[in-house]
Amino acid sequence: MTRRPLRSRRGFTLAEVLMAIVLFGVVTGAALGFLMTQGRGYRDISRQQSEVQNGRFTRDLLRLELRTAGTNVTDVQPILVAANDSVIAFNADLLTNHLDSAVFTGAVYVDTYASAADVSALSAADALTIPGTSPGVTYPLQDYTAITGTLGQAELVIFRFVRDTTSSDASDVMLTRQVNKRPPEIIATGLRRSGTTPFLRYWYDPNRYSPTTVGLDTVPRAWLPLAKTVAERGLVPDTGVAVTARIDQVRAVEVNYRVGRTEGESPEPVRYLVAMPNTAAPRQSRACGRPPLMPASITATWNADSNAVLLTWPRATDDGSGEADAVRYVLWRQLLGAGTWGESLASVGAVAGGTGYSYRDGGVDQGLGLSYRYALAVQDCTPNLSSLTTSATVVVP
């Protein structure tokens, strides 16, 4: 057997190993730097897009809800309650827990699980100081009730630009919304003031103060803050050129802020004007003219054959004649001695033809000799309710 000569197995020198390590470090460092730069860029773009979306959501929400100010307020309930550079508080039918209310009362949102306190006017027993007002504005100064004796449908809505507690940057602000005495909810964060321009500016109708003036003008700075510090709107002393009446002349709100804070880029300015059409009306904008006239009468009799109270009433003046805008009839039932009418019992749609309507109420308690009475109102498409007409007492055997 012959033995092969062993080949020379020469290894790496120390200099070669060190050179490889250096090159590997350079390449790895460059790759990591590139990845970190890409990550920072992605985060900046993502943050900027989020802030821009926040700003747009803020714009869309304010445009939607500020326009509702004054819907379904009672005749003397304030429309605007307080207004300054960063806070606006107003009454509007923002939320309802009745499915049909989206059609017949014009509420913006429907939540069937909402409590009565969240879908009705704030009561005097739950009065609060409007956050962000100085001096503090207390609201309400009295209860505002509908014709049924229950609290009205317009809730207190408060929008406020305030320091953004989620950010370490003292320049950042957030927009919050509060309904009645609910805790404020954060609507948008990462907003900033647009230079020295206030977040909220107000446009008013100066004709009451200068009859020859045409068009709107910005509210004088000397008037701010605006507030409704009397209990009833439009009644003495809240008339003429009284200080408390100034807030009722506001016709539009100008909103100003900036969004986006990516390093090296200027935040995007946002500026828009929101009209408030209902502030120019005595109560609210009306699609069907004047409120319907009160129905002539309602008769309630016990019907033993059907074990129910039979309700009958004639066609209302605005049902097929007059302004011809009656949509439905609304019924209430009350146990004799009760203080208010409470929630409505039922509604009956207006139909063409005929001379009158009827309804059978089989939900009364029998065998107790209880006495009931009923109330009736007609509603148009605005919607406005007429005054109530009530029946004589009926005894259920």
Residue type, 103: V
Which DSSP symbol is given to 352?
Answer: S
pLDDT of res. 106: 66
pLDDT of res. 291: 77
What is the three-state SS of 186-214?
Answer: EEEEEEECECCECCEEEEECHHHCCCCCC
Domain ranges of the chain: 68-280, 299-396
80, containing H or E segment: strand 80-83
> Rounded to whole angstroms, how far apart are CA atoms 97 and 112?
4
pLDDT of res. 283: 47
For domain 299-396, the question of CATH label 3.40.50.850 is answered with: no
> Rounded to whole angstroms, how far apart are CA atoms 252 and 223?
16
> Rounded to whole angstroms, how far apart are CA atoms 55 and 191?
7
> Rounded to whole angstroms, how far apart are CA atoms 277 and 262?
38
Mean pLDDT by 10 residues, the chain (397 residues): 59 78 82 73 58 68 90 89 97 83 65 88 95 95 83 93 89 93 91 92 92 89 95 91 94 90 64 89 54 91 93 92 85 90 87 88 92 93 83 95
Q: Does residue 118 contact residue 96 with C-beta atoms inside 8 Å?
A: no
> Rounded to whole angstroms, how far apart are CA atoms 375 and 389?
6
> Rounded to whole angstroms, how far apart are CA atoms 314 and 326?
13
* Six-digit token string for 167: 């950010």
Q: Does residue 65 contact residue 157 with C-beta atoms inside 8 Å?
A: yes
Cβ-Cβ contacts under 8 Å for 335 (sequence gap 6 or more):
370, 371, 372
Q: Name the phi and psi angles at 247, rounded to 5.
A: -65, -25
**DSSP bridge pairs for 204:** 217, 250
Q: Does residue 362 contact residue 333 with C-beta atoms inside 8 Å?
A: no
* Bond from prior residue into 225 cis (ω within 30 degrees of 0): yes
> Rounded to whole angstroms, how far apart are CA atoms 260 and 321?
58
Burial group, residue 277, by CB count within 10 angstroms (0-12, 13-18, 19+): middle
> Rounded to whole angstroms, how far apart are CA atoms 59 and 257?
10
Q: Where are the alpha helices (DSSP H) in 314-396?
A: none
* Cα 240 from chain centroid (whole Å): 29
Which DSSP symbol is given to 349?
Answer: E
Using alpha carbons, list the distances in angstroms from residue 339 to 120, 125, 149, 176, 378. Answer: 18, 18, 8, 38, 22
pLDDT of res. 42: 57
Q: Does residue 281 contact residue 289 with C-beta atoms inside 8 Å?
A: no
Query: Phi-psi bin for 287: left (phi > 0), alpha (psi -120 to 50), beta?
Result: alpha
Q: Does residue 389 contact residue 332 with C-beta atoms inside 8 Å?
A: no
